[in-house]
Every structure is written in structure tokens, then in C-alpha cells.
Amino acid sequence: MDQSLSLQVVPAWFIVLPDTDAAGALAVKALSYADRSLTHASGRPWLVGRWAPGTVVTGTYGGTRIAVIGEHAVTARDAERAAAAIDAGPPTTWDRAADWAGSFHLVVSGGDRVSVRAGAVDLRRVFHTRAGTSGRGPVSVASDRADVLAELVGAELDERRVALEMLGAPYPRAGDPLWRGLHAVPAGHCLTIHHDARVHTRRWWSPPDPVVPLAVGAGHLREALDEAIEVRVRGRDLVTSDLGGLDSTAVCCTAARSGTRVVAYTAGIHDAAGDDVYWARRTVEALNGIEHHIIPAQGVAMTFDGIDALEDVLDTPSILTVDRNRRMGIVELAAARGSDLHLTGLGGDELLAGTPARLHALLRTHPLVALQAVRGYAAKYRWSRRGVLRQLLDRSPYRTWLRRVARDLTEPAVPEGEPLLGWAVPPRMPPWATPDAVGTVRELLRAELSDVRPRGRGHGEHRELVAMDGISQWTRHIGQMAAPLGIGVSAPYYDTRVIEAALAVRPQERITPWRYKPLIVEAMRGVVPEASRTRDTKANATYEEEAGLREHRRGLLALCEDSRLARLGLVDERILREWCSRALAAETESYRLHPTIACEVWLRSRELTPPATSRAAPRHGREPAPASPSALPTANRET
């Protein structure tokens, strides 16, 4: 495995370093691959990496420096005011001083510590580790990418965590970095690194109490979404956007109202009930002036297309890998059209449709409303009354559910049609997982069970936040795939302000079997054309999955040859090959391949050798060595 693959080829990353001599060696190494840096007040490197102009804004006041990194409209004056507030107050001052629209990392240097936080869900992430330095003591360092951080400190792959990825790890292990000694900061938490290498995290964000009436909440959501899109499109001559389901339609129409030129893309699917193209045409006709491109179903890649030839450099395996070419087709067209920003509606399903698991809490507060909704969901999804009653009466805590998952790893998969009212659908290890892999996963899930808490208050909030964490990581991976094309992929539904506006609405009004996404329908009055606003259908790509398996079987079987997972002792190659050789039902069998294929492709991608020209030439014509702060290379230093 090439130990500097990501440092050499990834176009966007940053490292956060504490203001101490012990970080000098890591700073020099990072600077040899970086093209930008920011310094502490002392002159030592603080932020080192690669980022596009305009994505980082800094502010200084007294002994405090802050940097805002990402999608935002923060000015230098805004950052300076926030730095002043933070300089004068306790750590919780952050929560008010940096309440801006957009999606960003916030990094603070001051006193004897540095701190970094991201958003409410896992669209942007923070990883950290502790490294030893010769003669200078330990140092802790953070980054927005796990692979870059691992390469910087020379961390080794942790095969145990790869086994957990094959399961489709449940919360809180989902998205763990796959290198020894690396840790992920939970979404909604802030990491602080002290000069003596101590670290601690604190929660800075919690979901709001869901008490706002739908009519009021719709106005709040419209304002938040409008603001989220405005900070992204401001100053651009052209942006591109998905125009498919109701969620992306809301994003596209909101962007169109900004005055920025919008180019919309709609992909057809083979499902006879798939009507995205029909509704997109109606929307465009009513809006007037939007450039619209339709990709016929025959021109859209199937699932598993090119699966044995993917070269994306991701920092974690992603089940999006199996649909990589299908998902990226529009992004590639958008980049070719000249766009450097593509808007997507990802995140809308989890936020706006929500989950019936909210019925647990609703039964206690509004029992008659809850019972009516139970009947509606049972009829809509053909759930058995016994199954619904069993799950609603199950009051066992999350740690008990997780203990059952660890116990039942090799049991048959949960039958299709089971109610969706528990903490989650219990995952199962695939039949090709070796006994060692199963034992490893069971051990990891049982570790520290006494400290495990659910993501949210009750089944419903937990389930929605976990879903947002998971799909936002897909969006993050799409962004990593798109970055080499010079285009950003933006998901406004994952902005903290947008999430808060939606989650504050009463669940019995936001989530109902009787209406399709009522919150966004009401929020988009006067924004989405009436011809499209009340659409209540959603396409299904089952055909693309099953046909893709048939068409790309040879590529799947190629991944079974000399399997890297088999080399690690995690997969029985014979059983995996047998599964890949036969017909599989999309919704009950084929999906079980996805996490394993994601891991296999990811392991192979880490073996790629980057082109020699992609690495920045070492400063001073030689490999860098630890140096004093004044001798450190500046890498286009910004102050």
C-alpha cells in the first residue's frame, strides 16, 4: 500500500496542528504536499493543506484566530467579530458567535489549545490521532480526511475495522476510520487539542424540541433553504442542479429564484413507474428560462458498472461505490458544461419524510393521533399488526438492541416487510464472511456497550439522525469523487440551520402516512410551480440493480480473484464468487453484496500508484526534515 497516496493526489484536505514545537516534524511533512497554510500567532503552522481560493476566511482578535472552511458567505469582518466573542468568552461562546448559514468547518487557535468542529451530521468530518515525535514528546493532530491523517503519521490499516465495514456498521461504529490509532469526532461535537497532546470533545449541537406547528415551520424551512442556497450561488455566473424528485426540485427552483443561471439535469430510469422526467418537464415549462438536459434511461449507467476499474481515492469504503458511475454521470456532465458547483437534493428523504419510529414518543404524548397513524402505516406498507405491536411495546434501550445485533450476526436477514419502528433494521454479516471476521465484529460491537447511548432522544429522533449521518457520508464521498473534476457537490439539506428548521416541526405534522412530505410541500408554496409542488411519487431503481448485476457480472467476478478481503482472512472467496455468479433479488439479496464490494474496491484503490508529477516537489531540493518554526516552508502561507 502506497503510504502517501492521498497526500499526493487528493485535491482538497487540511491538517490542524497545535501551537507547539512537537508538531514541527508533522508540519514539515504536510507542507511538502500542501499548497496553502495558515499560521498561529507564534508563526508556527496551524492549518496546512490544499483548498480552493475563497473557501477559507480568517479572523483575528487578541490572542484568538479563527478559520471558516467550506461553503459559506462569511466575511473577514464576520470572522473578526466571532474571534472577538470567542476571545472574551467560554468555549460555549462558539455556539452563538459562529451561527452562520452554510456548511463548514470552524477552527480556532488561542491560548494553549486548538479546536475544530464541523456540522450537525457527518457531511463534514473531523478525525484525530496522537503521534510520537523523536525527543519532543507526543502531539495530537486533526484533519478533515482520515486517509490524509493516517499517511501523515504513518498509521497502519486496522483489519478489524474493515470487517466491521462488511457488516454495514450500526451507530456509533458507522464511519469509523480504518487505521489504528485514528478516531472520529461524533457529529455535533467539537474537538479540542491541548499543547500537551490531551484531547477532549464536547457536544455543541443538539436537535431542537419538535414543537413548532407545520405552518410556522414551513416558513422557517423556506427561509433556511433559501439562505443555504444563496450563500452557495452568490457571485457565480452558472450553477448546475439535479432536477428529479420533490427534494431536488425544491433546491433547483430555489436556486432559480436567486438570479444565477441554473442548468438542470434529469436522469431517466427503466422503472415504468419512474416519472421524474415527466415532472421535471412540467417544472421547467412553468419556470421558463432554465436550461434543462434529460439523460434517457438507456444512457444512464447500471449498478455495478465499471466496478473492477474504479480509481477514486476515498478515505473510507462507501457502499455508493456500486452505483458510482450511475451517480456520477450527471456530475461529470455538469463539470463538462462548465459548472464548478452542482446542487443536489440528497438529505431530503431523511429530513422531510422522517421515520414512523417517531410513533414511540407520539404514543405517550398524543395516543389517539399515534394510533390513527399506526393504522395508516400498517395499511400503507402492509405491516402485520403483531409485528407493529411487538416493536411499539419493545422499550429496551439502544445498548440492548446493539447487544442483540452482536449476538445475532449470523442469523437470517430480517424478512422484507417488517415494520420500521425499532432502533434500526438489525444488520447481518454476509454468508461469505469468515468465522474470524464474524468473531471480530462481535467483539467490536460488544466493546464498551455500557457507554453506548442512542444518537437521539428516542427511537424516531435516533433513527432520523443516524440516517442523516449515513447518507450525508454518501454525499461526502460523491464530493470526494467529484473533486478531481474541479466541481463541488453541494447538499443544502444537510446545513445545520436547515436541519434545525425541519426537526423543530411537530412530528405528527411532519411525518404522516396520509401526506407525502407535507413540510416541504408547504414550504415551497410560491417557489416550486403548482404543477409540480404536490407531487407524491418517488422512483425506484430496482431494475437498474438487477440488470446491472447481469450486465456487469464479469467485473464482480474479477473482484473475487485474488480478493484483498480474502488476503486479510475476512472473506471466503469461494462463497463470495458463488453469490456473484447467480441471479439475486435486488431488495433481499443483491444489497448484501454492497458493503463487501465497497471494502474490496477501497482496499484495491489504496494500492494505486499516483503519478510522479502529482506530488509537490520537496522544498529546498531535498526531503524535508524537522525544522524550527522560522525555517518552515510557507506553502503560499496565508495570515
Is pLDDT above 70 for 503?
yes
Q: Is the peptide bond before 610 cis (omega within 30 degrees of 0)?
A: no
- The 8-class DSSP code of residue 265 comes to E
Q: What is the pLDDT of residue 239?
A: 97
Is pLDDT above 60 for 615?
no
Is pLDDT above 50 for 632?
no
- For residue 3, name the pLDDT band (cuts at 50, 70, 90): low
CATH fold label, 5-205:
Glutamine Phosphoribosylpyrophosphate, subunit 1, domain 1 (3.60.20)
Q: What is the pLDDT of residue 613?
A: 36
Q: What is the pLDDT of residue 132?
A: 81
Residue reference for cell 490499516: 157
Is pLDDT above 50 for 629?
no
161 touches 174 (CB < 8 A): no
Q: What is the pLDDT of residue 157?
A: 96
Distance from CA of residue 501 to its chain's centroid?
20
Whole-number average pLDDT of the chain = 91
Distance CA 510, CA 221 (A): 12
Q: What is the pLDDT of residue 623?
A: 29
Cα atoms found within 13 Å of the Cα of residue 113, Cβ hemisphere only: 13
Is pLDDT above 90 for 314?
yes
Is pLDDT above 50 for 90?
yes
- The mean-pLDDT minimum among 225-234, 346-355, 434-443, 630-639 falls in 630-639
Distance CA 219, CA 524 (A): 9
Which of 203-217, 541-555, 576-590, 605-619 holds the top average pLDDT?
A: 203-217
Q: What is the pLDDT of residue 598?
A: 97
Distance from CA of residue 403 to its chain's centroid?
26
Q: What is the pLDDT of residue 536?
A: 76
Q: What is the pLDDT of residue 88?
A: 82
Is pLDDT above 80 for 95?
no
- State the chain's maximal CA–CA distance in angstroms: 75
- The mean-pLDDT minimum among 60-64, 225-229, 414-418, 625-629 falls in 625-629
Q: Are strands 261-267 and 291-295 parallel, antiparallel or unpaired?
A: parallel
Chain segment 161-197, per-residue pLDDT in tens: 999 999 999 999 999 999 999 999 999 999 999 999 9
The proportion of the chain whose per-residue pLDDT surpasses 70, expressed as a percent, equals 93
- For residue 133, name the pLDDT band (cuts at 50, 70, 90): low
Of 19, 531, 113, nearest to 94 by C-alpha is: 113
Chain segment 11-42, per-residue pLDDT in tens: 999 999 999 999 999 999 999 999 999 999 99
With vertex at residue 293, the alpha carbon angle to CA 288 and CA 298, rounded to the nearest 5 degrees, is 145
- The mean-pLDDT minimum among 33-47, 161-175, 358-372, 526-540 falls in 526-540
Task: Provide mean pLDDT across the span 562-585.
Answer: 95
Cell numbers of 52, please? 480552493
Q: Which residue has the higher pLDDT, 296 or 2?
A: 296
Task: Provide mean pLDDT across the span 570-595.
Answer: 92
Chain segment 207-248, per-residue pLDDT in tens: 999 999 999 999 999 999 999 999 999 999 999 999 999 999
User: Which residues, in sequence order, are CB contacts of 435 under 8 Å at separation 6+?
Assistant: none
Concatenating the DSSP letter of every residue in 377-410 gives: HHHHHT--HHHHHHHHH----HHHHHHHHHHTTT
- For residue 628, name the pLDDT band (cuts at 50, 70, 90): very low
Is pLDDT above 70 for 56?
yes
Task: Provide mean pLDDT across the span 528-539.
Answer: 83
Is pLDDT above 80 for 430?
yes
Q: What is the pLDDT of residue 4?
A: 80
- For residue 134, name the pLDDT band (cuts at 50, 70, 90): low
Task: Provide mean pLDDT across the span 375-393.
Answer: 92
| Cα distance from N-terminal residue to C-terminal residue, the chain | 36
Task: Provide mean pLDDT across the span 377-400.
Answer: 92
- For residue 135, name the pLDDT band (cuts at 50, 70, 90): low
Q: What is the pLDDT of residue 249?
A: 96
Residue reference for cell 417544472: 283
Is pLDDT above 70 for 630?
no
Is pLDDT above 60 for 1?
no
220 touches 124 (CB < 8 A): no
Task: Provide mean pLDDT across the span 76-105.
Answer: 88
Q: Where are the domains of the chain?
A: 5-205, 357-460
Q: What is the pLDDT of residue 621?
A: 28
Task: Provide mean pLDDT across the span 49-55.
Answer: 93
* Phi, psi dihedrals of residue 281, rounded to the nearest 5°: -60, -40
